[in-house]
Structure 1
Amino acid sequence: MASNNITFDPSSYTRPTTTTVAHKDLDRDAFLKILITQLQYQDPSQPMQDKEFIAQMAQFSALEQTNKVYQVNSLALGTQMIGNIAGYQRSDGTIQEGEVISAQTIGGNVMVQIGDDMIDLSQIIEVKKK
């Protein structure tokens, strides 16, 4: 019986490439625009069923409530950082650290004050006890 020699050369395989696509989650404005467009262009002979409309409004209400809970939790997280040392990445790629002085909501985003800088909570990469 003949045997086949099988060899494996890992260098002949390439790693799969990944493409990252920036996306923005649908917010309440996008949801309302979709709903309004849907209502504007619906077929008059087949109007939206009441239960469909109620279901979409319930989804919108749930989205609003989830957003409010997120905002409250984010602000609570920001206030817990007060007095601690937080690190964040600046736009030039350098890491900056400083004491968190305050936390507040500005334009729907939770910001913490580190020194003279107002930093979006999402930019914080590290928090240490002072």
Structure 2
Amino acid sequence: MAGVRDLAAQWQRAAGATPWRPHVSPEEAKAARLSPRLIRTLRARLGLTQSGLARLVGVSAAAVVQWERGRATPSGENRSAVVGLRRLGRRDVKRILAAMPKMAPARRRPGRARRRRRRGRR
């Protein structure tokens, strides 16, 4: 029962927390060039993983993967957040991430075995 309480407390903290948002004017965000390569190099310069960048911007890690592959581009508030990250250094990013609440990783339900696909003859 204590695990459920801990998880509920985490969700309440996360619900009250908003993702980090920089102070970037809409004109600056619109004029900024954001290529997949630039997003990748920005992430590397800041020492972030794809999930770390996703936490900062407030999107999923899959969205960051799509940005870096060129299949999608950040827009709106997400674009402003990525443009704002260009002004920060590694220390700033670490400080911001440390202040953000961490979510527990999703766990599988016990008792549900993962089915494996067999290859070859049955």
Q: Smaller-chain TM-score range?
A: under 0.3
Larger radius of gyration: 1
Which of the pair is proportionally richer in strand?
A: 1
With the length of structure 1 as denominator, give the TM-score of the two structures: 0.26
Which of the pair is proportionally richer in helix?
A: 2
Structure showing greater relative contact order (alpha-carbon pairs closer than 8 Å, 6 or more residues apart): 2
With the length of structure 2 as denominator, give the TM-score of the two structures: 0.27
